[in-house]
Structure 1
Amino acid sequence: MANAFESDKPAFPILIGDIGGTNARFWILNDSHSEPQQFPNIQTADFASIDAAIQSQVLGKTSQQPRSAILAVAGPIEGDDIPLTNCDWVVRPRQLIAELGFSDVLVINDFEAQALAVASLPAEYRDPIGEATHAPMASRVVLGPGTGLGVAGLLHAQDMWFPVPGEGGHVDIGPRSARDLQVFPHIERIEGRVAGEQILCGRGIVNLYRAICMADGVEPVYANPADITAQGLSGANRQAGETLSLFVTYLGRLAGDMALIMMAKGGVYLAGGISQKIVPALKRPEFRAAFEDKAPHAAMMRQIPTFIVSHPQAALAGLAAYARSPGYFGLSTDGRRWRT
């Protein structure tokens, strides 16, 4: 696995960016030791392209002009045109070089950046769920319910961390309990499938809430995830409360599945915007109960810790850790780095 940055590091100053379906966030690192220069969050819908957003809201706001860029994007990286999964932006590294003056651009998956953060963030940014709190230097998983559902693995070998990107948010998720069998027929499907992202993300919360209302024979009252989660946390609305309860149950099931796949004895880490907003629900018994309910391996699952990543900009912190010390990470740059 080639790590060109270890022997051929990017030139500072470095622009680092976390590009999601809804928000884009940027920092500039002037050197390997200084604190980053931070910029306000950008709403992707407010700009026609990433180039326009960077020019207007970053380069136009500072006298420090970056020479390199490391960008984490929500979508697969194949070729010179990189479309985002949940917004209209297309990242074109050669165009960034030609029009914005970069000499070196690296693009990775957004949940690789979250995995880099999980490898490098101090313990103060890990909020434990459940009694297991020790996180050994062993394989880890990061899940992020947000605009979509991101999943990545993290392997530890040869004194290095190797992030493993994937599209785990699109695995099948199905009913198990009697209540699930009442609710699932009403969940919106994509070509006949109920994937994790159909439930475990912002629009998934709305999807799940509507399905519960239909199962109960009542009209939906709320139409956006923030209202549903607020009503669910307060207990003011029964269907919203059950939405939150089932949401954390299904998230626990999927988190447990991913822990089994990766043998993630170093823990499962919940990133993304939704996790930080529903901490009280995640700390109720349902999440850990669903996570651990993996016979015949329930005893092993009880030993695997689960955490909420509490850093407000974890992906950028992960990218910054990589930019400063690329030799600590086994990150492949093949086919994902463009230079003049």
Structure 2
Amino acid sequence: MLLAGDIGGTKSNLAIFSSEAEIRKPVLEATFPSAQYSSLEELIHTFLSQNDVRVEAACFGVAGPVIEGKAKVTNLPWELDKERLQRELKIPAVHLMNDLDAMAHAIPLLEAEDVYTLNEGQPEAHGTLAVIAPGTGLGEAFLTWNGTRYQAFPSEGGHADFAPTNEAELDLLRYLWKRYGHVSYELVCSGKGLPNVYAYMRECTPLKEHAWVTEQLDAQGDHTPLIVQAALDVERVSERSQAAVSMLVAILGAEAGNLALKVLATGGVYLGGGIPPRILSYLKEEQFMQSFKNKGRFAEMMTNIPVHVVLNPKLALLGAACRGFEI
């Protein structure tokens, strides 16, 4: 039996799998609010105590870099160590991996119903695949064909310098540079980035906002869900929220194109993370693909690159299980 997990700052998904052949059908599965537990060990003890199953190996995708079997979860005071996990959980083999690495491992497992295609393109057989995932943060990864299968590689590309492509984005950069010094793509193109874009819209543009949105923003700690909700509300149009989401979509399109160029993703680009499925109506509009293809003399090549939105919310969990069966 394999225990796999997608460990995030907000929630952690755990599941037990009996075989690689049944990887899309876990034996057991549960979701836990991460912040309610003092450690991953405590959370897993809770899960295993509820189920009488002997686990022989475990693999966890972690929101944060993994170095020499150790990791610190972003947005959680957890420090993970695979040797300590093995010892305290009495699991013979434990593997830690970056959550984007986990997502990338799952890309070859996706089926037609798991994705929405924004651009059919002309995929190259065994061409490199790219993954860009705006969730709480912005993750990036890629996969290359090694002759027999795809091999995944994580990165911290979401922390690269934000590069504006128009006057409004240049003003956004100036606005955030004064506050942060370094402005990464994650600061403008993620769950933590959308409130920054909205703040720029509030302070630097004449766009108006409904009183109910402002009141709820003042009352809530996490602004992202409310901004998205207001942007999608067709009955009570929020110009400021719509403009913020539209700018995020344009920036995401440009950075997805940047990633495709850097790794030559002729096999396709996949948008993972929690945000793309929620703003799919915006991604379907022309702005995203226009920004994606706007690469000068390489614009024609960009048109040939397929672009897909991953709709399956268990991508990282599937990837962790996939990697776990390789241990």
TM-score, scaled relative to structure 2: 0.90
State the alpha-carbon separation in 2 of the partners of residues 303 and 81 from structure 1.
Answer: 39
Distance 1:123 1:176, change over 3 A: same
Provide the residue aligned with 1:19 in structure 2: 7
Report if aligned partners of 2:105, 2:320 keep a CA contact under 8 Å in 1. yes
Match of 2:143 among 131, 144, 154: 154
Q: Shift of residue 134 of structure 1?
A: 4.7
Specify which of 31, 35, 41 is matched with residue 41 of structure 1. Answer: 31
Correspondence for 1:240: 241
Amino acid at match of 2:36: D
Is the contact made by 1:256 and 1:291 (CA closer than 8 Å) also made in structure 2? yes
Distance of aligned partners of 1:188 and 1:84 in 2 relative to their CA distance in 1, 3 Å threshold: farther
Alignment of 1:74-223 (within 5 A): 74-132=63-121, 134=123, 136-187=125-176, 191-216=180-205, 221=214, 223=217
Residue number in structure 2 paired with 1:338: none
Task: Kindly provide the amino acid, as one letter, of the partner of residue 300 in structure 1.
Answer: M
1:214 is matched by which residue type in structure 2? Answer: E
Task: Tell me how far 1:189 sits from its aligned partner.
Answer: 6.2
Asked if the contact 2:3/2:17 (under 8 Å) is kept, the reply is yes
Deviation (angstroms), 1:90: 1.4
Distance in 2 between residues matched to 1:145 and 1:87, nearest whole Å:
18
Kindly report the root-mean-square deviation, in angstroms, between the aligned alpha carbons of the 2 structures.
Answer: 2.0
Is 1:29 equivalent to 2:28 in the alignment?
no
CA distance in 2, matches of 1:277, 1:191: 28
Q: Secondary structure at the match of 1:202?
A: coil
| 1:295, distance to aligned residue in structure 2 (A) | 0.8
Kept in 2: contact 1:142–1:271 (CA 8 A)? yes
Shift in alpha-carbon separation, 1:65–1:190, aligned structure 2, 3 A:
farther
- The structural deviation recorded for 1:132 is 2.6
Measure the CA separation in 2 of the matches of 1:137 and 1:284: 29
Deviation at 1:91, TM superposition (A): 1.2
The yes-or-no answer on 1:304 pairing with 2:294 is: no
Q: Decide which moves more: 65-74 or 176-185.
A: 176-185
Residue pair 1:229, 1:244 contacting (<8 A) in 2 also: yes
- Pairwise CA distance, 1:190: 7.0
Q: Does 1:250 align with 2:251?
A: yes
Residue pair 2:57, 2:93 contacting (<8 A) in 1 also: yes
Cα displacement (A) at 1:259: 0.1
Residue identity (%): 30
Name 2:321's counterpart in structure 1: 320
Residue by residue, what CA displacement relative to the aligned partner does 1:166-224 show, whole Å, maximum 9, x if unpaired?
A: 10100111322122233332236675111011011112111110111111257872631
- Is the 8 Å Cα contact of residues 188 and 198 (structure 1) preserved in structure 2? no
Work out whether residues 121 and 318 of structure 1, in 8 Å CA contact, stay in contact via their aligned partners in 2. Answer: no
Aligned counterpart, 2:290: 289
Structure 2: runs of 5+ lacking an equivalent? 218-222
C-alpha deviation, 1:31, in angstroms: 3.0
Structure 1 unaligned spans of 5+: 1-12, 327-332, 334-340
Determine the structure 1 residue equivalent to 2:45. Answer: 55
d(CA) in 2 for partners of 1:191 and 1:202?
Answer: 17
- Structure 2 Cα separation of the partners of residues 140 and 99 of structure 1: 37
Partner SS, residue 182 of structure 1 = helix
Distance 1:190 1:99, change over 3 A: farther
Alignment partner, residue 230 of structure 2: 231
C-alpha contact (below 8 Å) 2:208/2:240 kept by paired residues = no
Contact 2:17/2:28 (8 A) holds in 1: no
TM-score normalised by L of structure 1: 0.86
CA contact (8 A) 2:9 2:35 kept: no
Rounded to whole Å, the distance in 1 between the matches of 2:126 and 2:192 is 35
Counterparts of 2:271 and 2:70 in 1: how far apart (Å)?
A: 29
Alignment deviations for residues 73-106 of structure 1 (CA, whole Å, 9 cap, x no partner): 1111223542112321111222222221101111
How far, CA to CA, are the matches of 1:128 and 1:32 in structure 2?
Answer: 27
Q: CA 1:184–1:212 in 2, change beyond 3 Å: closer, same or farther?
A: farther
Which residue, 61, 65, 75 being the options, matches 2:54?
A: 65
Partner residue, 1:7: none
CA deviation string 1:300-321 (max 9, x = no partner): 0000011111112011122333
Contact preservation (8 Å) 1:140, 1:155: yes
Per the alignment, do residues 245 and 192 of structure 1 end up closer, same or farther by CA in structure 2, a change over 3 Å counting? same
Distance in structure 2 (CA, Å) of the matches to 1:243 and 1:119: 33
- Between stretches 283-292 and 169-178, larger displacement belongs to 169-178
